[in-house]
Structure 1
């Protein structure tokens, strides 16, 4: 047997890597052929090139373990599954041309399957078009648990599981890089999808005119199956667009990942943050932009800073923190790129200075017991515990929201236009922006 052929003999902890275009593709195949494909992908070496991964071998018993237990007919079933995978199974997805026109792509995943009589392995060969979506990890890809896929009962459930794992992978990636805020990470763990897109993903578009029928036969059964068969713990909420249910928001938890569950379960109230004494002192120093006090994500990001201030006050006093922040405000040049890190570093430097001064003072006073009186000053109202930050008026708040929406639309338009003119593929977010803002793709391409 060729030593260069990748073999898969055990599914325990086996992972597969697939391009996000393939994750979002419609699997136009029956359940068992799709499971055979997913197992074959698990045999790919994620660090190897396309040629190295063109042909894989998987132990026959792994495939048979996912077939219905019907005794003697098992061999016939195996042959039928392989025939359907080669001749009838495809993935379909949509993308955009360099000029911005939508195009549909259909790819056959497997070109060749070989089974030797009484042999232990099944040999499969991937098609040329599918290989880049399985081996190029420089692209956007999702890591999947092959055993979980094997445990799911049908193709629709597998498709929804892969869609959810795409968000799960994004969370892990951004969390490790530290490039997303707490609010943004929480948003990633609560992915939303339009109902029509969900029906397209599950290959049920044009079916189940009543949402209640789709929910009962597809959505609810998929969630139950995923919760029962995988490590994920999924719930969902329904959102209306007009008079009908138009969007589903999934909520991802992990039975073994406490960080995710803590983030999902957190019910922090922004009012609790703004009512803290440390926040009042920081706000009174005029270091915080007023807009930041109205942004929930920004407030949540401030919590580590406020906790450091709380410890500082317990060690020294509130007046000492007030003095420090007044000094910081006076010597700030412009707006720091990361205000939270800037404030923490400034406090660390100030504490080191206090410690150094105390050491010098203690040495000079070692021979005397005379204590120097410290004149106590009265804290201003905004530095006292329980002080409430003034809130924006309704008109000011609505104006700020309108301005934010306008800026988001301008940024989305610029991003889509720039990529279309360069002939670069659009990201999923940019495709969603086209739908959300109703951009005319042809007009964007013509713009100067």
Structure 2
């Protein structure tokens, strides 16, 4: 039987990566701060499996299904030895991988050692891979009413060290809280800023990265656990992160991280124009017109869909001009698509946009979304003729 041409394999891998880029990983914060007793491959495989969980409809028997193609695309494996490497990775995960979880209770701390994925099944004649989570890990993946973190699977795909993944998850946990309390309130200003500039003791950082007995010299520890991972995070994710070393006496006691999101291109695209109906009603008070539109946008179902697809962040929702621009220029086009294809048609479009979106640092949100829907609507209308 002839082998699949390499360019066709590459094309399939790109398509699969586009599909994977729509996925989100949602985990309880206690799992993120736990000690991951595993190397990078089992940890990434666990994150990939978690991205398959629908928390609103938890999987029956704690079981999810992946395809081998998804796995190979996620790990960017295309050589002839990929099946044996996959088999070895699964075996290592089941033999070695577990989380040491420490959770604060009223009486004190509770400790759990959990093997997250005790059962994996695959065949050499079928593409499907069955992954079953342990019952003990499921509460940290589905009971997410509070204290949970969401991040993009596509960010994790590009990280190639265990420490990069662990740090990225922890930084996401803190920055998500910064965005949440910036919008919702409920914390003092200095508390909110502390989420954007989180501090961790060296002892806690060593515990979380499982390096208590490794890299005894701080210079080695700093290179392997801080400098190299942050270079990866800054290059491949939506974060820019720096850090300061805090001394206590003559030794380094803790690390303070400084997290920012890569800047979104900003211009006057989403400012209200004179032809906007609501602006025409009140030219003398442009701010009031923007506030009215922004308020309407905050209540819109489309805003929720943008949040669900990580095309808009809670922090960006505080930008009155941006939200007014979305309501004035983008949401009416979504109404057109909804009339043609229903709300599911809008959902499908935004999933596609999420998969295809340009680098976060280069896009203007409203302009990008408007361009995407303007290009798509004519195709839908032609199909309906």
Under TM normalisation by the shorter chain, which class is it? 0.5 to 0.7
Q: Deviations over 1:93-121 (max 9, x none)?
A: 22345532x44321110121111323222
Provide the TM-score with structure 1 as the length reference: 0.53
Instruction: Answer yes or no: is 1:227 the counterpart of 2:243.
Output: no
Offset from partner CA, 1:55-97 (integer Å, 9 cap, x none):
1112222211244647221110011111122232101122345
Q: Which runs of 5+ in 2 are unaligned?
A: 1-16, 267-385
Quickly say closer, same or farther: Cα 1:42–1:209, change in 2 above 3 A: same
Which position in structure 2 is the counterpart of 1:95? 103
User: Equivalent of 1:25, from 15, 34, 38?
Assistant: 34
Residue in 2 that maps onto 1:132: 139
Distance 2:105 2:200 in 1: 23
Q: What is the aligned partner in structure 1 of residue 49 from structure 2?
A: 40
C-alpha RMSD over aligned residues: 2.2
Which stretch shifts more, 74-83 or 111-120?
Answer: 111-120
Counterpart Cα distance in 2 of 1:258 and 1:178: 26
TM superposition shift of 1:244? 0.4
Query: Number of aligned pairs?
Result: 250
Q: CA–CA distance in 2 between the matches of 1:128 and 1:84?
A: 20
- Deviation per CA, 1:267-295: give whole Å up to 9, x if none: xxxxxxxxxxxxxxxxxxxxxxxxxxxxx
- The runs of 5 or more residues in structure 1 that have no matched partner are 1-7, 260-448
Q: Indicate conservation of the 8 Å contact 1:92/1:105, yes or no.
A: yes
Contact 1:26 1:159 in 2 (8 A): no
Q: Which runs of 4+ in 1 moved over 4 A?
A: 256-259
Give the distance between the partners of 2:75 and 2:125, measured in 1 at CA.
17
> Corresponding residue for 1:72?
80
- Alignment partners' CA distance in 2, 1:202 and 1:235: 18
Q: Name 2:70's counterpart in structure 1.
A: 62
Q: Distance in 1 between matches of 2:27 and 2:62?
A: 15
SS of residue matched to 2:81: helix
Report if the CA contact (8 A) 2:37-2:99 is conserved: yes
SS at 2:20 equivalent: coil
Aligned counterparts of 1:54 and 1:90: Cα–Cα separation in 2: 17
Q: Is the 8 A contact 2:247 2:253 kept in 1?
A: yes
* Matched residue, 1:120: 127
Deviation at 1:32, TM superposition (A): 1.1
Q: Which has the larger radius of gyration?
A: 1
Q: Deviations over 1:190-238 (max 9, x none)?
A: 0000001111111111222221111112210011011111111110001
1:146 aligns with 2:163: no
Any idea what the Cα deviations from partners look like across 1:333-368, whole Å, max 9, x if unmatched?
A: xxxxxxxxxxxxxxxxxxxxxxxxxxxxxxxxxxxx
Match of 2:202 in 1: 195
The CA deviation at 1:154 is 1.4
CA distance in 2: counterparts of 1:187 and 1:103, whole angstroms: 26
Query: Within 2, Cα distance between the matches of 1:163 and 1:121?
Result: 32
Give distance in 1, aligned partners of 2:265 and 2:30. Answer: 30
2:217 match: 210
**TM norm structure 2:** 0.61
Partners of 2:191 and 2:39 lie apart in 1 by 36
CA distance, structure 2, for counterparts of residue 96 and residue 37 of structure 1:
24
Cα deviation, residue 170, structure 1: 0.5
**For the residues of structure 2 that align with 1:207 and 1:258, how far apart are their CA atoms?**
42
Query: Are the equivalent residues in 2 in contact too, given 1:27–1:155 (CA < 8 A)?
Result: no
Distance 1:113 1:178 in 2: 43
1:169 correspondence with 2:176: yes
Q: Shift of residue 30 of structure 1?
A: 1.8
